[in-house]
Amino acid sequence: MQRRVLLWTLTIVIILLVGLWLSFFTTVPGKTWIELKDKLTGRVIVSEILTDGETITLQWKNSLFHLFVTETYVAEKGFLIQRSIIFADPQGKEPPLVRREDVDDLYHTGGAFKVEGLSRTFQRIDFRVGTIGNPVLKIRNDSIYLAHEVGFGGAAILEARIPNRYKVWFK
């Protein structure tokens, strides 16, 4: 009788341990965990779990050409995928659509442009905060003003990864 109770107890303990292991160490498909931190201090500014397909935007002013920039990212399988960039025309005209392969040059040569259909994949993005840029990261209904969070000359790091079940359950 004692042996049977011991076997049942051991079986229940093993099942509980396997359940805990699955809870804490397995990942959740269809979700992306993003975390924005102050690079200098490591302080977490924002920690969110997004459903794949949700968008994040970064808006800032280009200090060299004084154009307002909007970069759009989509959460996907533990990554952030950059989908579009707009360097807005200061007079409000629709910026010309350009080829994806021209984007890197256009960042440095100036002028309004728009590019769509990008597929640039990131797991980490470093943001430097200057005097003119005033970068604002928009996640769902929240606007995070990076200059306020890390100060002039500071930096913030945005990281993405697939969350484990524990993170999803206790968020």
Residue pLDDT, tens place only, 3-19: 777 778 878 878 877 77
Q: Is residue 126's pLDDT more than 90? A: yes
Query: Residue 146 — very low, low, confident or very high, per pLDDT cuts 50/70/90?
Result: very high
pLDDT score recorded for residue 168: 56
DSSP H or E segment with residue 5 = helix 2-25
Q: Which residues pair with 124 in a beta bridge?
A: 159
Residue pLDDT, tens place only, 58-108: 999 988 888 999 999 999 999 999 999 999 988 888 999 999 998 888 888
User: What percent of the chain stands above pLDDT 70?
Assistant: 91
Contacts of 171 (CB under 8 A, 6+ apart): 47, 49, 163
Q: Residue-wise over 124-133: b if at least 16 C-beta within 10 A, else e?
A: ebebebeeeb
pLDDT score recorded for residue 27: 67
pLDDT score recorded for residue 171: 58
